[in-house]
């Protein structure tokens, strides 16, 4: 972590009492299994229905994700009924789960949304980070294939 990030984290924690979530580091196991066997790179995308960037990203995702050959899982923080309606509307062909804040930060260690974990065929995290649009998503995925 850079000096500025460490200082900012320290100041933010002291001022607000906020405990910041650290993502799962590369090389550690991801806490979910991907369907369809071992693929080179699987994606776990985390969105929140109260996050404006997530909602914009969600509307641009279907054409991109239909062409992606790896495994995909999407996790959405929101009410189950809202998530179910979005699944039907966008006709997602991969697992989509409604999750609560506690699960997002506690189990999956997502620091903020929209967030992506890339997971190898053995189930280990190879990289992660925020993705604010489809172009950033493409760039991240491309970098994971060239590790």
- What pLDDT is stored for residue 9 in this prediction? 46
DSSP 19: P
Q: Is 115 exposed, middle or buried (0-12, 13-18, 19+ CB in 10 A)?
A: buried
Please say whether the beta carbons of 128 and 118 come within 8 A: yes
Residue 33 predicted with pLDDT over 90: no
Distance of CA 102 to the CA centre of its chain: 15
Full DSSP string of 34-84 = PSSS--SEEEEEEEETT-HHHHHHHHHHHHHHHT--S-EEEEEES-HHHHH
pLDDT tens digits for range 120-142: 988 999 999 999 999 999 898 88
- What pLDDT is stored for residue 88 in this prediction? 94
- What pLDDT is stored for residue 36 in this prediction? 61
Please compute the mean of the pLDDT values over residues 21-29 and round it to a whole number. 94
Please compute the mean of the pLDDT values over residues 31-39 and round it to a whole number. 74
Please compute the mean of the pLDDT values over residues 82-109 and round it to a whole number. 93
Q: Is the pTM of the predicted complex or chain greater than 0.95?
A: no
Residue 40 predicted with pLDDT over 60: yes
Return the CATH number of the domain spanning residue range 23-145.
3.40.30.10
- Which residues share a beta bridge with 48? 77
- What pLDDT is stored for residue 19 in this prediction? 56
Please compute the mean of the pLDDT values over residues 63-71 and round it to a whole number. 81
Q: 94 in helix, strand or coil?
A: coil
- Which residues share a beta bridge with 41? 120
The mean of the pLDDT values for the chain is 84
């Amino acid at each position: 972590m850079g000096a500025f990030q460490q200082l900012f984290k320290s100041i933010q924690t002291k001022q607000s009492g906020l405990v910041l979530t650290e993502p799962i580091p590369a090389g550690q196991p991801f806490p979910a299994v991907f369907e369809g066997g071992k693929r080179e790179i699987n994606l776990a995308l985390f969105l929140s229905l109260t996050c404006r960037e997530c909602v914009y990203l969600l509307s641009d995702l279907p054409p991109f994700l239909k062409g992606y050959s790896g495994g995909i899982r999407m996790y959405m923080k929101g009410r189950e009924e809202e998530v179910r309606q979005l699944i039907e509307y966008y006709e997602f062909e991969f697992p989509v789960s409604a999750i609560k804040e506690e699960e997002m930060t506690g189990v999956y260690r997502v620091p903020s949304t929209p967030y992506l974990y890339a997971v190898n065929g053995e189930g280990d995290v190879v990289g992660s980070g925020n993705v604010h649009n489809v172009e950033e998503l493409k760039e991240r995925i491309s970098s994971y294939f060239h590790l």
